[in-house]
Chains A and B, each alone.
Chain A
Amino acid sequence: MTPYLTSLRAIVLREALRFVHQRERFIAALVRPLVWLLVFAAGFRAALGISIIPPYQTYITYETYIVPGLCGMILLFNGMQSSLSLVYDREMGSMKLLLTSPLPRWWLLLCKLLGSTAISILQAYAFLAIAAGFGVVAPPWGYLAVLPALTLAGVMLGALGLLLSSFIKQLENFAGVMNFVIFPMFFLSSALYPLWKMAESSELLYTICAVNPFTHAVELIRFALYGEVNLPALGWTLLAAAIFSACAIWGYDPARGQIGRRR
């Protein structure tokens, strides 16, 4: 095996092991979207009529509408969580271990990113399975078609987390950043309501939602779940993933980046 694959396997395995050791994290990551699906959606379905919009071909329940958004939420929270663990790793020193490996730094960061994305995807599938158990189902082939969409969206959001972690200097600053990132990203997107509803109430909010990369990640997942490709969403998600990754690698560059500027 080449050194590249060896390190990739080890880093992904370590992320997985760490995840297995934190069973609470897995449960918490599942409970959050399930509360939205089973409680919030139940209360909201009467208030919010969903008309027939692509990719749906019939009227759908609100629960069906928000499942892709909640998959996105899992990926978003996980991306931020792994970013948190990176900041923690850096304070604890194990990030140093990674960064002093003779392999190129961009590769090590990419491995880290793929490791956390793999875990996000596992969680998203666990959520989809539970949602199906409650009767919120997609077409069978959709569950396979959604895999590349989840992967790309997970990489994009993971790269955002990586980027943030390179600029957050201390663990204590983390909560604030999260509130500034997670909540606006989630609520200013098509995860909970179709964008045309947003357009009815405010053109400005609609515009913000439309440029939010999270919206495109959710739409990518939504269409993939019904076996369709949403090309604009794919393009925007790819672009965002590329930009976030490039900035994160720049942020971790020892000559220019922030990693050393702690003291």
Chain B
Amino acid sequence: MSGLAIANLSYSYGAKTALEDVSLAVAPGRFCALLGPNGAGKSTLFNLLTRLFVAPRGRIEIAGFDLAGQPRQALAHLGIVFQQTTLDLDLTVRQNLAYFAALHGLSGKLAATRIDTALDRLDMLERAGEKARTLNGGHRRRAEIARALLHAPSVLLLDEPTVGLDAAARQAITAHVHDLAQEGISVLWATHLTDEVRADDQLVVLHRARVLAQGTAAAIAGDLPLADRFLSMTGHEAA
């Protein structure tokens, strides 16, 4: 299938299990929130999805390409926003994007057009000439999301993209990425903040290396607010 499909994925660091038999699928056009407390295994999952690690067991498919068997085709369809900022702060936004485009083999006019389109999509076009160092956290994130869209990926991964942002920037970025999903991209959004999840989003709750629940956010929350449901599922007392 297209989109993102993960089947029976397990990973451990020595004796410590980080992921245990994780399966999930995100169809094109869906926004899937991967909700889990710190240490649930979200970052490990992202490292496996981006092939920074390779899992001994399980299967990952990106846009129909098996990540283990056809890693280059699979990575070509994957857009990634890492948790830590990966912009080169001494370069301008445009230079940062051009560097990334080149890593995907895009250059010249085509790259320039793609860069303009992607920046425009995130309302960042007027900041293209600014150095990344001068941008605030929210704008840096937007530049990174624009960068992740340059090669027109069909799957977009974001690892806690709103960490360290203020409420307004957080809301704006969450809304932007929901829009991207509506345009047909499969989005996997890792977070531990329930207010970033909309009722009709797909939701996967990850806790202690396992998938606890899967479905629409509304169905999982049931009659409780999602925040309370999440806390009761992961064994925390509501604060």
A interface list, Cβ under 8 A from B: 1-4, 6-7, 9-11, 14, 17-18, 21, 92-94, 96-104, 108, 254-255, 259-261, 263
Contacts and interface: CB of A to CB of B under 8 A. Distances in A.
B17 interface: no
8 contacts: A1-B108, A94-B88, A97-B103, A98-B103, A99-B52, A100-B50, A260-B47, A260-B52
A260 B14 CA distance: 12
A260 B45 CA distance: 12
Contact of B106 (A6, A9, A11): A6
Binding site of A, secondary structure by majority: helix, strand, loop or mixed? helix
Contacts, number: 84
Interface stretch (B73-81, B170-178, B193-201): B73-81
Interface of B: 13, 47, 50-54, 71-73, 75-76, 78, 80, 82-86, 88, 90-91, 95, 98-100, 102-108
Contacts of A7: 102-103, 105
Nearest to B86: A93
A3 B91 contact: no
A108 to B, nearest CB: 8
Contact of A6 (B50, B72, B84, B102): B102
B98 A10 contact: yes
Contacts of A254: 51-54
A259 to B, nearest CB: 7
Given A6-B105, A7-B105, A97-B100, A102 B86 contact: no
Top-4 shortest CB links A-B: A3-B105, A10-B102, A102-B76, A101-B103
A94 to B, nearest CB: 5
A100 B52 contact: yes
Contacts of B78: 100
Given A6-B106, A17-B90, A108-B103, 11 more contacts: A6-B102, A6-B107, A7-B105, A10-B98, A14-B99, A17-B95, A93-B82, A96-B80, A97-B100, A254-B51, A255-B54
Contacts of B52: 96, 99-100, 254, 259-260
Given A7-B105, A14-B99, A103-B72, A94 B86 contact: yes
Contacts of B102: 6-7, 9-11
Given A10-B102, A102-B72, A1 B107 contact: yes
Nearest to A104: B72
Contacts of B13: 261, 263
Contacts of A17: 90-91, 95
B80 A100 contact: yes
Contacts of A263: 13
Contacts of A94: 86, 88
Contacts of B51: 99-100, 254
B75 to A, nearest CB: 4
A96 B82 contact: yes
Contacts of B90: 17-18, 21
Contact of B88 (A11, A14, A96, A260): A14
A96 B52 CA distance: 7
- Among A2, A103, A259, the one with the most B-chain Cβ atoms within 10 Å of its Cβ is A103
Given A1-B107, A18-B90, A94-B88, A260 B53 contact: yes
A10 B75 contact: no
Contact of B103 (A92, A93, A103, A259): A103
Given A10-B99, A255-B54, A103 B82 contact: no
A223 B105 CA distance: 40
A102 to B, nearest CB: 4
Nearest to A20: B90
Listed residue (A92, A97, A103) with the most chain B CB atoms within 10 angstroms of its CB? A97
A189 to B, nearest CB: 35
Contacts of B71: 102
A97 B50 CA distance: 10
Contacts of A11: 102-103
Contacts of A102: 71-73, 75-76, 104-105
Nearest to A253: B54
A262 to B, nearest CB: 10
A255 B80 CA distance: 20
A111 B47 CA distance: 23
Contacts of A99: 51-52
Nearest to A2: B105
